[in-house]
Amino acid sequence: MAHEVRTPPLQSATVAAGQSVVSPSLMDRVDAALEGLWHLLTSMRVAMVLMIVLAALCVIGSLVIQIPTGTGDDPLAKSQWLDGIRPRFGGWTTVMDALGLFDIFNSVVFRVLVAALTISLIACSVHRIPGALRTATKPRVDVGPGFFEHAPQREQIVVHGTAADTLATVRSVLKKRRYRVLAEDDGTIHLYGDRYRFMAFASLAGHISLVLILLGAIIGTSFGFKNQYFVVPEGSTVLTGTEDGLSLKLIDFTDSYNVTNGAPSDYTSQVVLLKNGQQVAAQTIRVNEPLSYDGATYYQRAFGPAVVMTIKDAAGKTVYSEGMPLDGSSTDGSNRSAGSLTLPGTGDLINVFATNGTSDTTIQPGQVQVILYAGGANTATDAKVFDQGKAQALGSYSVTFDREAKYTVLSISKDPGQLLVWLGALLLFGGFTLVFLLPQRRVWARISTRGAMSVLSVASLGRRDVALGTDFEDLITDIRAALQAPAPA
Amino acid sequence: MEKLSWYFVIASMLWTAIATALYLVYALSGLRATRMRTAGMETTTSSLGFASGPRTAAIGSYASIVGWLATATLFFALLFRAIATGHGPFQNMYEFSLAFALGVLVSYMYFERKYHQRVLALIAMPVALVMMLYAWTIPSTIEPLVPALQNNLLLTVHVAVAIIAYGSFAIAFGAALLYSIQPEGGRWGLPKPQVLDEIGYRAVVVGYPFLTLTIILGAVWANTAWGTYWSWDPKETASLVTWLIYGAYLHARVVRGWRGQRAAWLLILGFAAVLFTYFGNLFFGGLHSYSGLQ
Ligand code: HEM
C-alpha cells in the first residue's frame, strides 16, 4: 500500500502544551485516511474486484427464483410466496430468505456494491479529467532519456543528416498520418505526436454514462408512476391514476390464435383516453405497440373474462350496469373465475362465478352464478345461476346477466428518468465504441546530434497492445522509408 | 425454402468438419516443423511465431478456403430460413444456435484474415460445429410468432449484434485457452503467448461494444413490449454478468499483476458467462416466464 500513515512532525514541549483541541497527528491521520480512500476509489484494481463480485451476485440472482417486485414489501404476500416455493428449497427456504437470496437486487450487499462502484466511477472520472485535459492541450514533450530505453515500444535509428533535417522528415511523416506534432529544442530535439487526442473524453463519457443510467433508474423509481395491473372490462371507463380526470375506456379486447398450433397470435385492446369526459387519444394497443399520452405509456399486459351485469334495486333503479372483470378465482378448489363487487352505498357484496368448463354441472357454459351477501354478511343471503339475458330476483335486487365480455390488463408507467437512461445508453455505446475504433495514439521522439549524424529515438506507450502489426510498427516503417528517400532536388 | 435451408445447414456442418480436420493437419504439420527446426533442419517461422514446414502453408490455405465455404453455406442457410419464416433467427433455440455458429465462423474468419493465426481454428471450428450439431437435436418447426416477438426489425438487429459479440468472445476464449496451456516463452509451435494475449484483447474490443448494444436493444424491446427497460429477468441478468466480466477484463489488461494469465482466466470465465446466458433458458426455465401475458 502506497499510503502509510505519516509520522507526525516532532514538536517542542512548549508548543505541545498549548494545544488542546485537535492534535496535528490526528489531522494527519484523517488526511492520510482520506487519501487512502481516494486511492481505493480511483484504483482500477478495486473497480475490477467490485465488478466481479457484482457479477457473482447477479449469477445467484439469475439462478435462484426472485420474489416479484412489490411482493417483498407486503409481509403477508411475502410469506405466501415463500410457502409457494418451500417445496423446492425445503428447510433452506428460511435460511435463503434471511440471506436475502430471494431478493438479491434489493439486498443491502448489492446496493452497497452498486453505490461503491458508482462512487468509484465518479472518483475515477474526476481523477482522470486533469490528465485528459493536459494531454489534449499541453502534453509533455520532453519525457527524459530513460523513457526511450524502457518504453514497451521503442526504436532507435541512426540517420545520416542533421538533426533539423531529421526532425523535418519525422514531422512530415507524422503529419501525413494526421498526427498533431509538437517539438522543443534544448540542444536535443524533443518531439511529441498524437492522434485522436480527445478520445480520453470519449472514455470519460462512457464511464459517466453509467452514472447517468443509474441516476435515471433512481429518478424513475422515486418519482415515476407505475401500475402494473390496471384492469378495464370491455365497455367500462376507469380512472388511470396518472393525472386528474384522465380515464381510459376499453371499447374492445380481442385475443387471436393461430389455427395451426393454437398459439396466441395477437392481443389487441381498442381504447380511448378521456380527459374530463373529452376524448384525447385513441389507439389499438398491442404487445409491441403501447399507447403514449402526456408522459405516460400504456402497455398490453394480460386479459381475462368479464361479465356485463345489470342490477336494479327494489325501487327499480339501476345501481350497476357495467362489465365486471372475473379476475379472481374461487377459493373452494373448483377453479372457477370469479369477480366481486360491493354495491355502492349499501355494503351489499356480490360475487360472480363463471363455469370452469363443460364438465361443470353447477354452472354450465353460458351461465354465471351470482351470490349476494347482504350487508357484507358472512353467509350468503341468496345465490342463483343465471342464463344470459333473463332477469331474476336476487335478495331484494333484480339482476340480469347481459352478456359475456373480456377485460384487459394494461400496465401503465410514467418514468421521468427514462430520458436520462436512454441518453446514458447512447453515451455508453458511443463513448466506448469510439475509444475502441479510434484509439488515442501517442509517440515521443528525441533527436540528438552525433558528429555528422543524428540519432533518432522513437517510443510509444502501447499499454494495450504491442505484438501484432501495430500502428507503431507502421509508423517506424514509414519513417525509415522517408529518411532513406533521396532529398528532393 | 425451409428444406433448402436445412440442406445448407447439413452442408455447412460437413464443411466445418472438413475444415476442422484440415486445420488440425495444418497444426500438426506446424508442430512437425517445430521439431525439425529443433533438430536443426530448414524451416520458416512467421514473424508472429508459428513455425511452418514445406507443405504447411498449402494445407493452411486449403483449410481457410473450406472455412469460408462453411461460413458462406451457413449464411445462406440462415438467409433461406429467414425468407421462409419472414423474420430473423430469434424465434427458437434452433435458429439462435445456428446464428451463434455463424457468429463464431464469421469472427474466426475475420480474425484469421487479420492476424493469420490459424491455430485458433482448432477451438473456433469445433465450437461452431457443436452449436450446429446441437441445433440438429432440437425441434426446428417454424411457428408463427407470439405477440411479444412481433417486433421484427428490432429483434433481428438485437440477435445479429448478439451473435457478433458471442462470436468474438469465442475467439477471445480460444486465444485465452491456447495462452493458458503454454508455459512462458511458448511451446508446440503455438503462437507466442504475447500474440495470443493481444488477439484475445482485440476480439474483446470488437465484442464489447456489440454486447453493450445487444443489452441496450434488449432493454429498448422490453420497454416497448412490457413497459420496463430492466426487470432483472434471468436472461437480462446473465447478460449483465457477461458484460461485467468483460468490463473487468478490459481493465485487467492495463493493471499490473492482472495482465497475462489472470486476464486469460477472465476471458475463459467470460465465455462461460456467454454460454450461461445463451443456454440460460434451459436452467432458468420455468422460474421466470418469458411472455408477459399469462
Ligand atoms: C461498471 C463499471 C465500468 C465499466 C463498464 C468500465 C468500462 C471500461 C471500458 C470498456 C474501458 C476500455 C475503453 C477505454 O479505454 O476507455 C475502460 C477503461 C478504463 N477504465 Fe473503466 N469501466 C468501469 C469502471 C471503472 C472504474 C470504477 C474505474 C476507476 C477505478 C475505471 C477506470 C478506467 C480507466 C483508467 C480506463 C482506461 C484504461 C486504459 O488505459 O486502457 N473504470 N473501462
Nearest CA of chain A to the CA of B263: how many Å? 11
Give the pLDDT mean for A166-187: 91
The answer to whether B116 faces chain A, any CB pair under 8 Å, is no
Q: What is the pLDDT of residues A101-133, one digit of tens each?
A: 888 888 899 999 999 999 999 999 999 999 899
Q: Which of A58, A302, A428 lies closest to B237 in CB terms?
A: A58
Q: What is the mean pLDDT of residues B138-155?
A: 79
Which residues numbered 178-217 in B keep a CB inside 8 Å of some CB on A?
192, 194-195, 197-199, 201-202, 205-206, 208-209, 212-213, 216
Phi, psi torsion values for A445, nearest 5 degrees: -140, 160
pLDDT of B205 above 60: yes
Q: Would you state the pLDDT for residue B292?
A: 30
Is residue A19 pLDDT above 90, yes or no? no
* Ligand 1: lining residues by beta carbon, under 6 Å: A 42-44, 47, 51, 117, 120-121, 124, 203, 206-207, 210, 432, 435, 463-464; B 208, 247, 250-251, 254
Counts for chain A of helices (H) and strands (E), in that order: 11, 20
pTM for the full predicted model: 0.86
Closest chain A residue to the Cα of B155, Cα to Cα: A288
pLDDT at A209 over 90: yes
> Predicted confidence band at B53 (pLDDT cuts at 50, 70, 90)?
low
CA of A129 to the centre of ligand 1 (A): 13
The Å distance, Cα A435 to ligand 1 centre, comes to: 11
What confidence score (pLDDT) does residue A172 get? 92
Extract the runs of DSSP E, i.e. beta strands, from A216-258: 225-233, 237-239, 246-257
Query: What's the confidence (pLDDT) of residue B283?
Result: 61
In the chain, the amino acid numbered B97 is: S
Regarding predicted confidence, which is higher, B148 or A442? A442
Given a cut of 90, whether residue B177 has pLDDT beyond it is yes
Residue A17 pLDDT more than 50? no
Yes or no: say if B12 and B79 are a contact pair by the CB < 8 Å rule: no
| Ligand 1 center to A454 CA (angstroms) | 40
Whether A287 sits inside 8 A of B276 (CB atoms) is no
Instruction: Please list the residues that pair with A369 across neighbouring strands.
Output: A353, A385
Q: What is the pLDDT of residue A39?
A: 86
C-alpha grid cell for residue B165?
A: 459479440
Residues 6+ apart with CB under 8 A from B213: A429, B161
pLDDT value of position A67: 82
Answer yes or no: do B254 and A464 touch at CB < 8 A.
yes
Please report the pLDDT score of residue B44 as a whole number.
57
Query: Which stretch of A7-11, A132-136, B87-91, B166-170 has the lowest confidence by average pLDDT?
Result: A7-11
> Which runs of E-coded beta strand occur in chain B?
44-45, 51-52
| B191 neighbors B95 (Cβ within 8 angstroms) | no
- Mean pLDDT is highest, among A27-31, A203-207, A391-395, for A203-207
User: Distance between CA A53 and CA A120 in Å, rounded?
Assistant: 15
3-state class of A453 per DSSP? strand
Q: Closest Cα of chain A to B29: distance in Å?
A: 23
Is A192 strand, coil or helix? strand
Q: How far is the CA of A259 from the centre of ligand 1 (A)?
A: 52
Interface confidence, given as ipTM, is 0.89
Condensed to tens digits (0 to 9), the pLDDT of residues A276-291 reads 889 998 899 988 889 9
The closest of B273, B199, B186 to B237, measured between CA atoms, is B273
Q: Which residues contact B64 (CB under 8 A, 6 or more apart)?
A: B109, B112, B118
Strand-pairing partners, residue A282, are A272
A·B CB contacts under 8 A: 153
pLDDT band at A179 (very low <50, low <70, confident <90, very high): very high
* Three cell numbers, residue B224: 416497448
DSSP per position, B72-131: HHHHHHHHHHHHHHSS-S-SSHHHHHHHHHHHHHHHHHHHHHHH--GGGHHHHHHHHHHH
Phi, psi of A241 (to 5 degrees): 85, -5
Q: What is the pLDDT of residues A74-107, one digit of tens each?
A: 788 888 888 888 888 778 888 888 888 888 888 8
* Structure confidence at residue A7 as a pLDDT band (50, 70, 90): very low
Cα separation, A392 vs A384, whole angstroms: 8
Which of B246, B245, B160 minimizes the C-alpha distance to B204? B246
